[in-house]
A and B are shown apart, each in its own frame.
Chain A
């Protein structure tokens, strides 16, 4: 575990404040995210986990009346800088949503959608991407002979794997996941968790979860949030066994939330 502390900081969140209209939802959040690690965000519902996650690829730009202060540094630049290339950023920082949300298109088209946007036209290259990402998402064997059929016909777990493959299709650095297993059954959940651990070799993962066992099982670092504040951020074993804050200890032992 110790060696991982030496991984470079790939994403650095500093002094982040966020308002939805009048209402402040994040207060002075600081958190470094290191390369090739899984960072879990935990905390009671409504504490701002999704909000924080959605800052990292500027998804909150879609929310009218949302205002942000502070910086998130990625690759040495602030992603909120006025001249930042949002689409380029989102290509590098992929996202998996709570409910699987494949497009109403074929499995293949779901995956080639992103690469095509970013200028890949050659059929062969696209086919390679389809196979590579579906293999990475451990879905290839199940769908290899029906790539042309509608993605919405897949089971919930398969849909979520497809969404992961879709996120991988544009070669991201970082993958953000917002409770990716909360809509899935235990077997599908176990599969996605396995996948995350596998993904960490090549990517960096930031994952919101309401399931503390899940955070304990797969994450390297854990951030505990409460009422819009980052109460504590540390190695996962520290958070779950010897947290320094009273609130964290109470939360991880199931005393509230």
Chain B
């Protein structure tokens, strides 16, 4: 009926549309296949361990001695949870405080400075954090508590470091959530005479609470799965702290166990299998956290929209008793925390006495805070949020400043272009720089096409069907999967089964799988930002779906996609755990782009220098600085691209 005058029939074009759809769908299924493959390989490899111990014994046993065939992972799992918990104690309040400062207290100018700083904070490779912990935090804490933690390695050190690493995640997600609250709520609240702080605490934060909850949970996920930094500062003894809250004790986490033992284990042995079982447990922990997160967010949302604001406590106790109960509870909790802290330093009687004093002071302060005027409370709270943000800026400056200053003496042309001599004690890091760049390029070559096509499918084609739901779930799970799990998968599936060996290609594939979810999500977002009218204009000219998608929508979204992709690649460049099993060797004495040869990479080189080598500290610092510089450069490029594309596409 409507035959095309130019000869190409609408039928042919409809067919081509179908072909494109199936191609995109195939690309998108990659995520599901990868997730399945990871689960299958890791489960399959862990079966052998279950022959020598039962699952319960594995989870609760407290002796981990592979040399004697003892695989009780209880203490290791406990260590993981304790370090994470410890990091949350300060990362959550400081993170939310900083987010509130950025979204509600500071002005636009300050925000424009802070926002990229937070991104920068997030982009620093975990091995650099670990290095910083080793060089600065460990000696500082050892000096501060010489009796309690003479070595400086401890749960506390790990928690502080992890807290810093979780902060940027918490801040940026929470800030987005606060910013997403409609400005009309703010106006309405101020218009009835609320102060800005009252508006923030009673209207904006409650309205954003589900987003803030997911911020915290994402932060937890990041902390649980973190490998290198924790491993470098916690002492790695699988002890149960004595008493349980003794933050000065050594601990060992799941991730550290995997990273430490994997390189030495005999492939196919029970020990090898036990490590995979440990990896599986880690994955399940993260999965459970994420599921809880979704549930919490859903519940919170229902409650916000929901009928009765009355809490559970108030329903069973009545209003007065509930109030009394809460007050009593907070007194006891304060006392308990005070005692826990004091008992780490003093004998029991003294600790008890001091904690009573401390708790009463705290309670008095609290009572005093209830009495002050509304405007002084606002001042107080605004200053508190300012301190939170200030703390982040200070930590970041100390970290960067320390590295830059101490790296300078070792930086030379020879260092950048020379080969390492004497196991890295002298000479340069040229092959590691080249190897890192090769890893970036190789990862991009695999992850970008796959990720962009998948994202395009999800954004433009899937229309929320069953398949799309499965896809979204798979991407979410992949996104939350710790990098060390990808490392396990890389070792068992890509290096061994695919037979690619420890090589550049194995490393790139592993890393590409790891950053795939980031690229997909970025693409989805960027495409989602292209306004509908642009598509309509294309359709109105008779273009069909794939023409519109590939000629109009994708080019329009390219800036956004590139920004996210570069940030994702920056993360890949700094990753240590996945490459150290799949691609990296300690020394290379020639360079050349060969996909099937192993490479030297900066993160692993830094890790090696910092923990085993006896290279001069300034060499280590210089290596850290070069790694930081590469990641920073990518970060800057990403921002330039963003600025440019924002300017170009002002819808």
Contact = CB atoms under 8 A, between A and B. Distances in A.
A109 B202 CA distance: 11
Contacts of A113: 189, 192, 194, 202-203
Contact of B203 (A90, A95, A97, A103): A103
B305 A90 contact: no
A88 interface: yes
Interface string B164-206: 0000000000000000001011111111111100100011001
A62 B207 CA distance: 19
Given A104-B305, A106-B307, A114 B192 contact: yes
Contacts, number: 87
Interface residues of A, number: 35
A148 B309 contact: yes
A64 B186 CA distance: 15
A163 interface: yes
Contacts of B304: 104-105
A132 interface: no
A87 B304 CA distance: 26
Contacts of B194: 87, 113-114, 117
Contact of A152 (B189, B193, B305, B374): B305
Contacts of A57: 191
A151 B193 CA distance: 20
Interface in B98-145: 107-108
A105 B185 CA distance: 11
Given A101-B184, A103-B207, A109 B193 contact: no
A94 B191 CA distance: 6
A148 B308 contact: yes
Given A64-B108, A97-B184, A117-B198, A103 B189 contact: yes
Contacts of A153: 305
Contact of B185 (A88, A103, A149): A103
B378 to A, nearest CB: 9
A153 B189 CA distance: 19
A89 B190 CA distance: 10
B191 A59 contact: yes
Nearest to B192: A114
Nearest to A57: B191
B192 A167 contact: yes
A99 B202 contact: no
A97 B115 CA distance: 31
B592 interface: no
B306 interface: yes
A94 B192 contact: yes
Interface in A175-215: none
A106 B308 contact: yes
A26 interface: no
A150 B308 CA distance: 9
Given A113-B202, A117-B198, A170-B193, A163 B188 contact: yes
Contacts of B184: 97, 99, 101
Interface string B484-502: 0000000000000000000
Interface string B297-312: 0000000111111000
27 contacts: A59-B190, A59-B191, A62-B187, A87-B193, A89-B193, A90-B190, A90-B192, A90-B193, A97-B184, A97-B187, A99-B184, A101-B182, A101-B185, A104-B207, A105-B304, A105-B309, A109-B309, A113-B194, A113-B203, A114-B193, A114-B194, A117-B374, A148-B308, A152-B305, A153-B305, A167-B191, A170-B193
Interface of A: 57, 59, 62, 64, 87-92, 94-95, 97, 99, 101-106, 109, 113-114, 117-118, 148-150, 152-153, 163, 166-167, 169-170
Given A117-B198, A150-B306, A170-B192, 14 more contacts: A62-B186, A62-B190, A87-B195, A95-B191, A103-B203, A109-B309, A113-B203, A117-B202, A118-B193, A148-B309, A149-B307, A150-B305, A150-B307, A153-B305
The 9 closest A-B pairs by CB, nearest first: A91-B193, A114-B192, A101-B184, A95-B191, A90-B193, A87-B193, A101-B188, A150-B305, A148-B308
